[in-house]
Structure 1
Amino acid sequence: MIKRILVIFLIITGAYIAMNYLFYGNGITLSKTEDSAKVSRDIENISIDISSVATTIVPEDRNDVLAELNGKGTVTVNKRGDAIEVSVKRKGFFWFNWFELDNTALTIYIPENYDKNMEINLGSGEVTFKGSSIQDRMELDKLSVDVGSGSMVLKNLDVQTLEQRISSGEVEINSLSAETGTFEVSSGSVNVQNYTGKLDADVSSGELEIQMDELKDSVSLNVSSGDIELDLPDDAGFTLNGKTSSGDLSCDFPLEDKQESDKRLSGKHGNGKHKIDANVSSGDIEIF
């Protein structure tokens, strides 16, 4: 009986996959879809909502948002009020993508002089968003990133406000400055290099590694479970106020007026100008 059910299931699955090939792309043959919307002065936000596709966001000299999809699915670029929304709908039965070589890729071109708000929601897949260079960074008022799973790379960006919510997956950030940066990590891994700005990090599970080029504002670190590594420049001036209930807090910098016990670590390094608050419920915080 079980064998008969299994055979029927395999026949139905095979028929579905065959129909998917016939009606949605003839096997691994790629199709191409594109859509666009003009960026007028009243546009305050560009929202990108994607899943199960490799996406590259490219700033360039243009006055519209253009999305080009190579592969299976449909891309839409809609203007709704003061926002432009980019989304992709995939066709087919993607539980079985291991049967085929799925090279579906999305490229989104945005105006390089757009300097307002952007939201990136990643369900799965991967996203790469880079400014032209370290000297010629993409500037935004607010960048909001929500990663369900998958991977994301952000590089050469200058923003007023950065908000990151990482449920699962991997995020790599390089050469980014922010007036205020917030990192919420539920699970997964976040690696930040060459960061400048105010920092507020909350890790419930997972790992957050941040290397700062310059300490210019306050830092708040909270770990309920997981790990935070904060790499500061040697000349950083800060006053540390650390508390632990379970876990470890360490600081490799020599501290003046140092107070250390099982539950507390405090002291001043350099001019002590900037405040660093570190709280560990469970897990580890390392400052070096």
Structure 2
Amino acid sequence: MNKRMIKLTIAILVVIIILLIAVLVRGTKYGDSFMIIKGSSKLQKQETMSIENCSEINFLDYSGSDIEIQTTEDSKLKVVQTAYNKINDDEKFTIGKSINEINIKCDTERRSFNLFNFRFNEKIYLYIPKNYEKDLIIEDSSGNIKFLSAMKLDELRYTGHSGNIKSNYSIDAKKASFKLSSGNIELEKLKVNEYDVDSHSGNVYINSISGSGKISNRSGNIRILYADIKDYSRVEASSGNIRLNVPNNLSFEFNGSYSSGNIKTNFPTDKDDDERTVLGKVGNGPYKKLDANISSGSIEIIK
């Protein structure tokens, strides 16, 4: 192969790589609004199942699919899978029931590699009967999840690697946990007895929260508006900013600390001897406990 052909081959490969990077960046930015090939979404699979005697719905082993969850007036659970292109049978979801559990899953190991994994713009729709108020467990590798209606459950537990979690509706539960490696968590209203919210990389925004629990973030901002604190709330971040809004009538004991940054409040506080710890009491006892800690960034707490 002469030098001219070698240079031409290298140039073609560079152009292909640049185009692929552009496709990946655009797909990441625009998500399911971006399509390599435009077309209408097609039904791939739909299945219903009775929730009689069911106390746990498990949504497991999903990768690359966006998930939308809402309640329905129907008496049966319904799962719908759509995509722009045809999905092979071994890539479609399966649903089964064992004793008191319903398991919805996809064998991700059998999914063929597809370079454009905006892949089929695949979506999973989960319709849960309104009268179901037990447990919902979701394990998702990558993809966004949206709650499209108010949910009332015993326990809601979500674990994911990458993607965003969003709900513009109320989530009412005894226990709720959201654990995400990379992505934003945006919740309109979280009314629970006990919560655990954790994002390693991304922002955490909750417009109304009540109960007791922990909210943590390694890299990103945290913005929380408290409706109430049952007993305690702990908020932690490694890098980013924390903003907390508390009700005017809430009596609480505040303990805030930082390694590099500052703490701003609009109520009387005292600084500890190390000048990196801020203490304060608001109202009359009994006091709820509110702790906020950050390694690098600012904490703002507003009453």
State the TM-score bracket (shorter-chain normalisation): 0.7 to 0.9
Distance 1:58 1:187 in 2: 27
3-state DSSP of counterpart to 1:253? coil
**1:249 & 1:147 partners in 2: Cα distance?**
32
Report the TM-score when normalising by structure 2.
0.75
Q: Is 1:268 matched with 2:288?
A: no
Percent identical pairs in the alignment equals: 28
Q: Are 1:109 and 2:121 counterparts? A: no
Q: Quick one: distance in 1 between partners of 2:194 and 2:267?
A: 24
Q: Is the 8 A contact 2:58 2:138 kept in 1?
A: yes
TM-score between both structures, scaled by the size of structure 1: 0.79
Note if 1:35 corresponds to 2:47: yes
**Residues 223 and 285 of structure 1 are in contact (CA less than 8 Å); yes or no, is this contact kept in structure 2?**
no
Paired with 2:182 and 2:240, the residues of 1 have a C-alpha distance of 13
1:254 paired to 2:272: no
Q: Which residue of 2 aligns with 1:46?
A: 57
Gaps in structure 2 of 5+ consecutive residues: 17-36
Q: 1:182 aligns with which of 193, 196, 211?
A: 196
Deviation at 1:168, TM superposition (A): 0.7
Q: Is the 8 A contact 1:215 1:233 kept in 2?
A: no
Please provide the CA RMSD for this pair: 2.8
The 2-side partners of 1:121 and 1:267 are apart by: 40
Q: Tell me, in whole angstroms, the C-alpha distance in 2 between the residues paired with 1:120 and 1:286.
A: 33
Given candidates 153, 178, 200, the residue that maps to 2:166 is 153
Task: Tell me, in whole angstroms, the C-alpha distance in 1 between the residues paired with 2:184 and 2:246.
Answer: 22
Rounded to whole Å, the distance in 2 between the matches of 1:70 and 1:89 is: 17
1:176: how far off? 1.9
Letter in 2 for 1:37: M
- Find the partner of 1:162 among 166, 176, 191: 176
Indicate conservation of the 8 Å contact 1:66/1:109, yes or no.
yes
Which one-letter code corresponds to 1:125 in the other structure?
A: G
* Alignment size in residue pairs: 261
Superposed counterparts of 1:1-288, under 5 Å:
28=39, 30-41=42-53, 43-49=54-60, 50-71=62-83, 72-73=86-87, 74-88=92-106, 93-97=113-117, 102-132=120-150, 138-154=151-167, 155-255=169-269, 258-260=270-272, 262-272=275-285, 273-288=287-302
What are structure 1's unaligned runs of at least 5 residues?
11-25, 133-137
The equivalent of 2:22 in structure 1 is: none
The SS at the match of 1:240 is: strand
- Secondary structure of 1:284's counterpart equals strand
CA distance in 1, matches of 2:117, 2:68: 21
Separation of aligned partners in 1, 2:73 and 2:130: 6
